[in-house]
A and B are shown apart, each in its own frame.
Chain A
Amino acid sequence: MKDKLPAILVGLAVVGVLGWLALGSVGDNLVYYWSPDQLEAAGTKAVGANVRLGGLVKPGSIKVDGTVTTFEVLDGSGKIAVPVRTEAIPPQMFREGIGVVVEGTLGDDGVFKSERLMVKHDENYKAPTSGADAEAAIKAAKE
């Protein structure tokens, strides 16, 4: 057993490095969601493909008409916006300015049709800072 130890250790080091590289390159190729600018850069290639689109809900863009919700998803720079149309029921946290990830397809008309709307909450955990915040939080909790 003892004389095999160096070979085992070398083998482990090789496998470890290979595993690390594999994970790293998977990281470059596997994309959980596209940002609006990445979707735009893909051009017509993005049309019809089943993808996820992630970004921030553009303030003032949310419109609810019966079961249909439309809004726009902004990229980080705030310059590129993709209109989204969904019949999914928005999660309770859905609001203007919040991060969202939508699953669906980009149509020929430039509208992203989504069957699934997910809300991304950030890493900030804060107590309500004002009376209005507290009331909103209590109201949201009751609903």
Chain B
Amino acid sequence: MKRWESWVGLLGLVLVLVGSYMGLFVAPRERFMGDVQRIMYIHVPTAQVTLLIFTATFVGAVGWLWKQAWKWDHLVEGSIHTGLLFGALLAVQGAVWAKPTWGVWWTWDPRLTSVAVMVLSFLGILALRSFVDDPVKRATWSATASVIAWVNIPFVYLCVRWMASLHQTQTQSHQMDPAMKLPLNLSSIAVLLIAIHFVAVRWRIAARQRARELAE
């Protein structure tokens, strides 16, 4: 436990357990959806944090194109790996919530479609990185592609307000029972800390790989 990200990850793990316990056993049962709605306490934080992680990819990509410092490429690599893990979890959680409420596991509504585009585009960038042997070309090409892929992120967030969709819009504070807010906020902080832990660990792996590649 010498590294700061270990403590961040541990704190996130404790908080996600507290938030999940409160969401599952303390928060009130939702009026119409019943117990299945309790998946909100992990699904909403996962969604928020996934969009933030890919926004970190965007920051890393712009940083690389601007300064050509390796730390920005490490951020791109670390955040894409983590974002894909969280994006996959997001889709699974959403499907589990959708089947009993909507009646289907999946439908091509604007929110689900744009999330699929998001995950597939960053998956493609990861593939691109593995095809390119020159570290500088790899960093520049994947940064360029990441900036383009990020354009979709505001659309993922806003499409439910702009377009007819099956997915509900963002909940305003007064639309949620006060007793549901604390577990949700705790889980949001927890998932963010866990994501920071993963990005930091993956960053260090990327840094070692680059150091070895550049030494050859």
Contact = CB atoms under 8 A, between A and B. Distances in A.
Interface in B163-216: 163-166, 168-172, 175-177, 179-180
Contacts of B170: 123
A118 interface: yes
B180 A117 contact: no
Interface string B131-167: 0000010001000100110011001000100111110
A118 B177 contact: no
Contact of A19 (B108, B109, B148): B148
Contacts of A120: 102, 166, 168
A9 B144 CA distance: 9
A129 interface: yes
B-side interface size class? 35 or more
Q: Secondary structure of the A side of the interface?
A: mixed
Given A119-B103, A140-B34, A31 B164 contact: yes
B159 A121 contact: no
A141 interface: yes
A35 B103 contact: no
A49 interface: no
Contacts of B34: 137, 140-141
25 contacts: A1-B68, A1-B140, A5-B66, A12-B65, A27-B162, A32-B108, A33-B166, A91-B102, A92-B101, A94-B103, A101-B166, A118-B102, A118-B166, A121-B102, A122-B168, A123-B168, A126-B177, A127-B28, A127-B31, A127-B177, A129-B31, A137-B30, A137-B32, A137-B34, A141-B29
Interface of B: 28-35, 37, 40, 65-66, 68, 100-104, 107-110, 136, 140, 144, 147-148, 151-152, 155, 159, 162-166, 168-172, 175-177, 179-180
